[in-house]
Amino acid sequence: MGVVTVGELKPSISGKRTFRPSSSIRHATEWPISDVSSDLTIEVGASTFALHKFPLVSRSGRIRKLLLDAKDSKVLRISLPNVPGGPEGFELASKFCYGINVEFTLSNVALLRCTAHFLEMTEEFAEKNLEARAEAYLRDTVLPNISSTVYVLHCCEALRPISEEINLVNKLINAIANNACKEQLTTGLLKLDHTFPSKTTPTMEPETSSDWWGKSFNVLSLEFFQRVVSVVKSKGLKQDMISKILINYAHGSLQGIRVRDPQVVKGSLHDLELQKKQRVVVETIVSLLPTHSRKSPVPMGFLSSLLKAAIAASASTPCKSDLERRISLQLDQAILEDILIPTNSPQNSHNTMYDTDLILRIFSIYLNTDEEDGEDSDNYIDESQMAYDFDSPGSPKQSSIIKVSKLLDSYLAEVALDSNLLPSKFTALAELLPDHARIVSDGLYRAVDIFLKVHPNMKDSERYRLCKTIDCQKLSQEASSHAAQNERLPVQTVVQVLYLEQMRLRNAMNGGHNQVFFGQFPHRSGSGAGSGAISPRDNYASVRRENRELKLEVARMRMRLTDLEKDHVSMKQELVKSHPANKLFKSFTRKLSKLNSLFRINSIKPIGGKASSETRFPFPKRRRHSVS
């Protein structure tokens, strides 16, 4: 009694929806139903369910097949070890078979869809079966919304491999990509309407920012995140949006993951796992970055953080090389903190604080790439387009390398404080840039002076080579005055500074026509790497600017010379008036006039008159010698 044999099931195999639960069963709150004795026990993992054959076989093709294929016609127990979602998924599916209302949500729709496929709950066995109901919910509620789709995709991670077999994962990923592109187009149209508003339709601002849906990607595993971003890129999503998604995901994935001293990591299994996780995340994100470009939308600070994380996690060499090249292409956008990359080595008294070899590679890549780009771009330049100012937007290469030179000088001043830094490495960085990169050498002089102060025991040859990197002609007057009195500099450098200072003063006194001024314009050699790295356009603009500055300097020097001449004349007049001999001469003249009045002299000839006039005086006249 209560046992359904295989023969009793055969007449109902071809029919659909042969089981219609009563209203008491449809609205039942107790599970399982206890008003009818159970005739089938199903094992799902460690759980068992006492159920009835007829409701299950009326909707599940898999259970029906298991019962039909059983050798014993009076089967009372079957096992389903691989049900998606385990006991939870099977319980929801069996409730649906009994006609109990199962509410579809974002949390269970993927589970129900996979369970329906596993139990073969298709339209072949019953109308509006579980698979069709789950597909309808996905189509109407999940797929139109990006955040909902991402959340359901996250639920599919625990349902593999069956979620992959039924193509649910690919369907969700494609829906995310399509909706993201639609969102991008809609945002663009809204911005266009805001720029050119219609008279009839009021402009509506988007309620949220254009990347609001990108934050939902943080719930995805790294593998699913990589697949989604790859498809989104192939669909044509803008690179700046992809960069925002990557930054957001990296911030959530790498937050709190820190690697301590490598010696400590070797003995800590937990830290090794964290390091491995960080390495995989960094390498994956780097592989998803937009293409290399000087105008890349990826912020410089993010690239620097990725490189620091890659070094700390011992990422692969291609990964670190890719980041180094990306940073070099945007080096003119960097600040000092971006290139202060600590050394990834055990902390001891002989290691440097910062990785100068890495920075040397980055700056070298920047210079080499700059030359290659310059060669390519110069082939398409018209001579009529070469008349622009030195620092105008039309000269991006020159303005870029000037920014890079200031960045390098700041970096040198920072690493100069490290007493473990070898003079050869510091000198290699100081010699890296070409001559035209620095307009003023004050920053480099300051860094060299700090290094000499921190390293007082340098060899004379190393000291001389380091100071040769300073172009004394580009020092400001204040810096040259300091260098002339700097005891840390080699004698040759001090003599050069004094000589150039003397030449500058002589030039000022001569009118300033043909000498070099300090801190005004760069010194360019006729040959060598420095002059070869400059393009004709930049050279032409530089000469124009130098000529203008030269004219202004000449005018200022002439005005100064005029003032000096006036001061000289006035000082000479004051000297004549205040000389003691002049006072004696005036006193003598007054006394002489009194004696002449006593002898009633009628007339006196001027000094330097004829010799006969001397007989008019009662005593011989001596010739006066001029004091002035």
Over residues 362-394, the pLDDT tens digits come to 999 998 875 444 444 344 334 333 333 434 433
Q: Is the peptide bond before 161 cis (omega within 30 degrees of 0)?
A: yes
The confidence score (pLDDT) of residue 394 equals: 38
pLDDT at 628 over 70: no
What is the spatial order of strands in the sheet that 47-51 belongs to? 47-51, 40-44, 77-79
- Going by C-alpha positions, the residue among 342, 308, 313 that lies closest to residue 324 is 308
Instruction: Quote the percentage of the chain above a pLDDT of 90.
Output: 31
The confidence score (pLDDT) of residue 526 equals: 36
Residue 254 near residue 309 (C-beta atoms within 8 A): yes
Least confident segment among 63-67, 307-311, 333-337, 404-408 = 63-67
Residue 233 near residue 173 (C-beta atoms within 8 A): no
- pTM metric for this prediction: 0.67
The confidence score (pLDDT) of residue 101 equals: 87
Give the pLDDT mean for 10-25. 39
pLDDT at 260 over 70: no
The confidence score (pLDDT) of residue 226 equals: 93
Answer with the residue of higher pLDDT: 367 or 610. Answer: 367
* Domains of the chain, start order: 6-106+114-121 (3.30.710.10), 582-616 (no CATH)
Q: How far apart are CA 321 and CA 472, in angstroms?
A: 36
Least confident segment among 36-40, 164-168, 459-463 = 36-40
pLDDT digits (tens, 9 = 90+) for 170-183: 999 999 999 888 87
Answer with the residue of higher pLDDT: 60 or 620. Answer: 60
Q: What is the mean pLDDT of the chain?
A: 75
* Position 481 confidence tier, pLDDT thresholds 50, 70, 90: confident
pLDDT at 547 over 70: no
The confidence score (pLDDT) of residue 230 equals: 93
The confidence score (pLDDT) of residue 505 equals: 79
* Position 10 confidence tier, pLDDT thresholds 50, 70, 90: very low
Give the pLDDT mean for 514-539. 43
The confidence score (pLDDT) of residue 580 equals: 58
List, in sequence order, every residue forming a beta bridge with 536; answer none if it has no partner.
none
The confidence score (pLDDT) of residue 615 equals: 41
Q: How far apart are CA 613 and CA 627, in angstroms?
A: 24
Written as one string, the DSSP assignment of 505-558 is HHHHHHTSSSSPPTTSS----SSSHHHHTS-HHHHHHHHHHHHHHHHHHHHHHH
The confidence score (pLDDT) of residue 307 equals: 93
pLDDT at 165 over 70: yes
Q: What DSSP character marks residue 44? A: E
Q: How far apart are CA 9 and CA 125, in angstroms?
A: 14
* CA angle, residues 265, 269, 274, in degrees to nearest 5: 75
Question: Long-range contacts for 347-353 (Cβ within 8 Å, ≥24 apart)?
Answer: 347/261, 349/420, 350/420, 351/420, 352/415, 352/418, 352/420, 352/421, 353/415, 353/418, 353/420
Say how many residues make up the chain: 628
Residue 503 near residue 552 (C-beta atoms within 8 A): no
Instruction: Quote the percentage of the chain above a pLDDT of 70.
Output: 66
Give the pLDDT mean for 101-111. 92
The confidence score (pLDDT) of residue 275 equals: 83
Give the pLDDT mean for 91-114. 91
Least confident segment among 37-46, 197-206, 530-539, 570-579 = 197-206
The confidence score (pLDDT) of residue 254 equals: 82
Pairing of strands 40-44, 77-79: parallel
* Position 338 confidence tier, pLDDT thresholds 50, 70, 90: very high
Of the ranges 275-289, 523-537, 570-584, 599-613, the best mean pLDDT one: 275-289
In the numeric block, which tokens belong to residue 429?
């960085």
**Three-class SS state of 159:** helix
pLDDT at 352 over 50: yes
Query: b vs e for 591-604, b when ≥16 Cβ sit within 10 Å of the residue's Cβ?
Result: eeeeebeeeeeeee
